[in-house]
Amino acid sequence: MGAQGLTCRECHAEYPAEALYVCERCFGPLEVTYEVDAGLDVAERRRHIQAGPQNLWRYSDFLPLDAPPGPSSRTLSRTGLPAGCTPLIKADRLAERLGLREVWVKNDAANPTHSFKDRVVAVAAARARELGYDVLACASTGNLANAVAAQGAALGMETYVFIPADLEEQKILATGVYGTNLVKVRGSYDDVNRLCTEISGERDWAFVNVNVRPYYAEGSKTLAYEIAEQLGWRVPDRLVVPIASGSLYTKLAKGFQEWLDLGLAEGAPPVMNGAQALGCSPVACAWEAGHDVCQPVRPDTIAKSLAIGNPADGPYALDLARSSNGSIDAVTDDEIREGIRLLAETTGVFTETAGGVSTATLAKLAERGDIDPEERVVLLITGEGLKTIDAVRDTFDSFEIEPRLDAFVDEVEDVVAGARR
Amino acid sequence: MSVTVKIPTQLRSASGGEGEVGVEGATVGEALEGVFTRHGELRERLLEDGKLRRFVNVYVDGEDVRFLDGLQTPVPTGGEVTILPAVAGG
């Protein structure tokens, strides 16, 4: 496939594959369209992917870059900070706890800056360079800030990173260390986003999630390709995915559909379950009310990486939940903390609050009986627990003893044995 | 009551290249009508059935009018109405 151009999702007006993101006619979002190369058969395509590098550039044929397929994926791998090829873990103990047969955890915290945002930024930055940009910028709830600052450092591009001033300290520190122009904005993420939309009209920069957003968003498809490849070229029955703007959620479905259409993956389009934090749940609220559009909200949740009150892809997320027989659920902050704990205790994966949201939502779906026990379910973990460390503070006890054997026996072993009785 | 309406780059082909338009109006709706009087083409780009299109965000002094009174939101004298695309972010 090769990127053909951009098409408005609303009115289908067509545009060249440049740094454009909004339809001038109706203000709808622009999406990349591809020319499908019918020349390759399935076995040949699979071999081509398997011969590619151990990162997302093995899927460069399905990404919106001019660089031709083939050796170029190697070249891409040798510039910047390649992302992807993260573990898909079979989570039998989690499945057992939830009364399900087969659950897999896609641990996308295992990316260079510990979230799935490295994927979208790798694609956005590569396209920004092709389009001749020198400066990379973003509006971020934290994970994207890390990814843009790091990718800019790796590529030698100047970066401007805009974040809400009240972000978790870990995410601020893990951004500043890369030597970026870090701008803390006094306001919510939606205020940051509005400011960046304004600035992007006035500065000749590549804002990864504003003017080059159509390319950026395509990077999320690589998660779908990877899951399918890791499952032996099969699409899972169901995915549980956190929703902030709704971009990841909708692009995952697009990725699976592309491979089903090409015959590269077997199966049917998966049931798509979206997960939001109750304290910022514009899409889940619209879902429950049966609306086609989302009413913006003011976020108040510990899941700050999902705290987008005015989600750009909200209407499309609602369409997808409907068409895939899925749903969009919301969980409380306490359920998020329990979700983090449940995942950690049963899989050894420590996730940030967004992963707590998706895990808690999976637990909710299982309890509600929405999931057939025979289904193969993939739970998406998008970020690392060390970035939202406050969420687990004071949620467990520990022992503090003198360095003596009797102290260990009396104060630890006896207590542990007592707790078991 | 004079207010400033800021036009995003994507709409400037329909506003004769103007990025800011000074108009009279006490509400967002009236201010936009003032803009449409000068640049008629903008009406259908921003409104559908008399309402804001779903991917159009309008702010009064930085506040999203969907949190306020929509097109009936009052605009103070000297206030700023900003039109921006809604499809960014995430």
Rounded to whole angstroms, the Cα distance separating B33 from B51 reads 12
Mean pLDDT of A139-153: 97
Class of domain A117-218 (CATH, top level): alpha beta
- Taking CA–CA distances from B87, the nearest residue in chain A reads A312
CB A179 within 8 A of CB A153: yes
Residues from chain B that touch A197, judged by Cβ atoms under 8 A, are: 8, 84-85, 88-89
CB B6 within 8 A of CB B19: yes
pLDDT at residue A123 in the model: 96
Q: Tell me the two tokens of residue A262.
A: 């090409």
pLDDT at residue A71 in the model: 53
Position A68 confidence tier, pLDDT thresholds 50, 70, 90:
low
Cβ contact, residue pair B87, A298, below 8 Å: no
pLDDT in tens, A30-49: 999 998 777 779 999 999 99
Position A113 confidence tier, pLDDT thresholds 50, 70, 90:
very high
For tokens 């449940």, the residue is: A342
Instruction: Give first-to-last CA distance, chain A, whole Å.
Output: 62
CB A150 within 8 A of CB A313: no
CB A221 within 8 A of CB A252: yes
Closest residue to A29, CB basis, from B13, B14, B55: B55
Mean pLDDT of A402-418: 96
Please name the amino acid found at residue A194: R
Pairing verdict, β B2-6 and B80-85: parallel
pLDDT at residue A420 in the model: 84
Mean pLDDT of A77-104: 95
Closest residue to B13, CB basis, from A24, A196, A213: A24
Statement: residue A81 has pLDDT above 70? yes
Q: Return the residue in A7, A27, A192, A213 with the most chain B beta carbons within 10 A, the one to mutate for interface testing.
A: A27
- Taking CA–CA distances from B66, the nearest residue in chain A reads A296
pLDDT in tens, B15-70: 999 999 999 999 999 999 999 999 999 999 999 999 999 899 999 999 999 999 99
Residues from chain A that touch B56, judged by Cβ atoms under 8 A, are: 27
Write down all domains in chain B, each with its CATH number in brackets.
2-85 (3.10.20.30)
Chain B nearest-CA distance from A8, in A, is 11
pLDDT in tens, A170-185: 999 999 999 999 999 9
- Taking CA–CA distances from A314, the nearest residue in chain B reads B87
Pairing verdict, β B56-60 and B80-85: antiparallel
The average confidence (pLDDT) of chain A is: 95
Cβ contact, residue pair A27, B89, below 8 Å: no
Statement: residue A70 has pLDDT above 60? no
Could you tell me how many helices (H) and strands (E) chain A has, helices first?
16, 13
DSSP code per residue over A271-310:
EEEEEEETTB-HHHHHHHHT-SSPPP----SS-GGG--SS
Residues from chain A that touch B13, judged by Cβ atoms under 8 A, are: 24
Q: What is the CATH number of domain A88-114+220-392?
A: 3.40.50.1100
B15 part of contact set with chain A, CB < 8 Å: no
pLDDT at residue A297 in the model: 95
pLDDT in tens, A12-29: 999 999 999 999 989 999
ipTM of the complex in this document: 0.93
CA angle, corner A161, sides to A160 and A167, nearest 5?
Answer: 160
Q: How far is CA A344 from CA A340, A350, A356, in A?
A: 6, 5, 10
Position A120 confidence tier, pLDDT thresholds 50, 70, 90:
very high
Mean pLDDT of A368-373: 95
Residues from chain A that touch B53, judged by Cβ atoms under 8 A, are: 26-27
pLDDT at residue A79 in the model: 84
Cβ contact, residue pair A210, B86, below 8 Å: no
Q: The pTM is what?
A: 0.95
pLDDT above 70 coverage of chain A, percent: 97
Mean pLDDT of A82-109: 97
B57 part of contact set with chain A, CB < 8 Å: yes
Q: Return the residue in B54, B73, B87 with the most chain A beta carbons within 10 A, the one to mutate for interface testing.
A: B87
Position A155 confidence tier, pLDDT thresholds 50, 70, 90:
very high
B9 part of contact set with chain A, CB < 8 Å: yes
CA angle, corner A165, sides to A81 and A285, nearest 5?
Answer: 90
Cβ contact, residue pair B88, A26, below 8 Å: no
Statement: residue A251 has pLDDT above 90? yes
Rounded to whole angstroms, the Cα distance separating A125 from A148 reads 8
Q: Return the residue in A22, A140, A192 with the most chain B beta carbons within 10 A, the one to mutate for interface testing.
A: A22
Mean pLDDT of A120-124: 97
